[in-house]
A and B are shown apart, each in its own frame.
Chain A
Amino acid sequence: MEYKNILTTCVYCGTGCGLNLQVLDDRIVGVLPAKGHPVSDGRLCVKGWNAASFVYSPERLTTPLVRRDGRLMEASWDEALSLVAGKLGAIQAESGPRSIGVFASAKCTNEENYVLQKLARAVLKTNNVDHCARL
């Protein structure tokens, strides 16, 4: 029987609260607050307390999905990425690059958001970069 707590950062928003994942026999069984953490100071909101509940969800995607004839079908990464790149290129050509908008997220790391705006500006050639909370 093995039990330990692993300190990590909550994934649910940009605040970055610390929390401990309770791991029992190699399985996450719950969350404990991170006492003394500079951001969260031993407290959590309801999302933080449930930050691990999605980990073993049977609804998590395991492959890319592509919509064919109105239904989402499993696809390979190559197929999915080629489809997306092709369609974005077509929209760029047809309606101009600034017809494309890009939404970043507080669930992403700062580094991921940086790369996203770099993709938007340098590759998609649009400056319409904003945050998902603006939807």
Chain B
Amino acid sequence: MSILDDLRRTVANELESLDGVVALRQDGLNVAPYLYHQGDDLAVLVITPRFPLAQTVDLLLDAHPEAHLGIVALGCDERALKELANWHQVDLARVRVIGVPCTGEQAVECRCGEPYPSTIVVGEQVKGVEDRVLAEFLTTHTQEERLAFWRAQFAKCIKCYGCRDICPLCFCNTCALEEDHWVGRGRVEPPFPTYHLIKAMHTAGSGKCTQCGECERVCPAYIPLTLLYALLRHDVKRLFGYETGASVTDKPPVFRFEAAGS
């Protein structure tokens, strides 16, 4: 029995007590998120390539707040859901996580330290890997070199907003990236560094980045966004002791008020 067979059987069981399960569906060569219902043919349910399924759950629960949904979730999907709950966007009581671990190859591709959710229903979890790209960047570049690096990278940006549109933690109805005084609406080159740092600070810098890597995968200019956000995640952990989606009880750093020196 393959992992997929086990997973499909598990999803079929879970569907008996849920309004639907969010997972990927293969149709010909196209794979995309889908809401499965009880009785659906699950032979088309797959787990790659990854999509930000937490975003889909958020979308569906916004439209149907009374629904109970399952989600076939990787580690970063579950962490995104927990972080969305920390920001009062998703009611976790309405979400049942069907946990799936990443493969060793996926962990390496994402440079992920925790390539698994809190519980897994199929397969074996593999160990996380160290983010060597982050480590190298932190230790071997001067501030001038780092600024020059990012300036060159962001010169390639075509302002497609893909990094924002695909991010499961970008949920704001009014987005700062659409404010004329910050980004100059109608002008193609996004201003450096305001545009990119607003995105970075409002997600990774606010403890909202799960390092799922979807932003980098969707960037038509191949900008190494996961490196920029890893740098900020590193700082958020160092300065506030906060890890995105690690728990639902922790207050995200943005919600804390602490007197200076305390």
Interface residue ranges, A against B (CB under 8 Å): 1-5, 7, 18, 20, 22, 24-25, 29-37, 42-46, 48-49
Interface residue ranges, B against A (CB under 8 Å): 19-20, 22, 25, 27-35, 49, 51, 56, 59-60, 63-64, 67, 158-162, 165-166, 217-220
Q: A42-B218, A43-B218 are in contact. Are A32 and B33 (CB under 8 A)?
A: yes
B49, A35: Cβ atoms under 8 Å? Answer: yes
| A24 and chain B: residue at smallest CB distance | B63
A1, B159: Cβ atoms under 8 Å? Answer: no
What is the distance, in angstroms, from B170's C-beta to the closest C-beta of chain A? 12
| Most A C-beta atoms less than 10 A away, residue of B20, B30, B64 | B30
A46, B158: Cβ atoms under 8 Å? Answer: yes
User: Once bound together, how far apart are the Cα atoms of A101 and B159, in whole Å?
Assistant: 35
CB-CB nearest 6 A-B residue pairs = A5-B32, A3-B35, A43-B220, A7-B30, A46-B160, A35-B49
User: Once bound together, how far apart are the Cα atoms of A3 and B59, in whole Å?
Assistant: 10
Q: Give the chain B neighbours of A36 by CB distance below 8 A.
A: 29-31, 49
Q: Give the chain B neighbours of A49 by CB distance below 8 A.
A: 160-162, 165
**Partner of B59 from A7, A24, A43, A45 at Cβ < 8 Å:** A24
What is the distance, in angstroms, from A80's C-beta to the closest C-beta of chain B? 34
A45, B67: Cβ atoms under 8 Å? Answer: no
Q: Give the chain B neighbours of A24 by CB distance below 8 A.
A: 59-60, 63
User: Once bound together, how far apart are the Cα atoms of A61 and B33, in whole Å?
Assistant: 32
| B64 and chain A: residue at smallest CB distance | A1
A45, B217: Cβ atoms under 8 Å? Answer: no
Q: Give the chain A neighbours of B220 by CB distance below 8 A.
A: 43-45
Q: A7-B32, A43-B219, A46-B161 are in contact. Are A1 and B67 (CB under 8 A)?
A: yes
Q: Give the chain B neighbours of A2 by CB distance below 8 A.
A: 35
Q: Give the chain A neighbours of B160 by CB distance below 8 A.
A: 43-46, 48-49
Q: Give the chain A neighbours of B22 by CB distance below 8 A.
A: 3
A33, B56: Cβ atoms under 8 Å? Answer: no
Tell me the number of A-to-B contacts counted with CB atoms below 8 Å: 84
28 residue pairs bridging A and B, Cβ less than 8 Å apart: A1-B19, A1-B64, A1-B67, A3-B35, A3-B59, A3-B60, A4-B32, A4-B35, A7-B28, A18-B30, A20-B30, A22-B33, A24-B60, A29-B59, A31-B165, A32-B51, A33-B218, A34-B32, A36-B49, A37-B30, A43-B160, A43-B162, A44-B162, A44-B220, A45-B158, A46-B158, A49-B160, A49-B161
User: Once bound together, how far apart are the Cα atoms of A20 and B29, in whole Å?
Assistant: 13
B27, A7: Cβ atoms under 8 Å? Answer: yes
Q: Give the chain A neighbours of B159 by CB distance below 8 A.
A: 46
| A5 and chain B: residue at smallest CB distance | B32
Q: Give the chain A neighbours of B25 by CB distance below 8 A.
A: 4-5
Q: Give the chain B neighbours of A1 by CB distance below 8 A.
A: 19-20, 35, 60, 63-64, 67
What is the distance, in angstroms, from B167's C-beta to the closest C-beta of chain A? 12
Q: Give the chain A neighbours of B67 by CB distance below 8 A.
A: 1
What is the distance, in angstroms, from A67's C-beta to the closest C-beta of chain B? 30
| B166 and chain A: residue at smallest CB distance | A33
User: Once bound together, how far apart are the Cα atoms of A24 and B60, in whole Å?
Assistant: 8
User: Once bound together, how far apart are the Cα atoms of A66 and B156, in whole Å?
Assistant: 45
Q: A43-B162, A46-B161, A49-B161 are in contact. Are A3 and B34 (CB under 8 A)?
A: yes
**Partner of B56 from A3, A18, A35, A44 at Cβ < 8 Å:** A3
B51, A35: Cβ atoms under 8 Å? Answer: yes
User: Once bound together, how far apart are the Cα atoms of A30 and B51, in whole Å?
Assistant: 14
Extra contacts, 17 of them, besides A24-B63, A44-B162, A46-B159 (Cβ < 8 A), are A1-B60, A1-B63, A2-B35, A3-B22, A4-B32, A4-B35, A20-B30, A22-B33, A30-B59, A34-B32, A35-B217, A36-B49, A42-B217, A43-B160, A45-B158, A45-B220, A49-B162
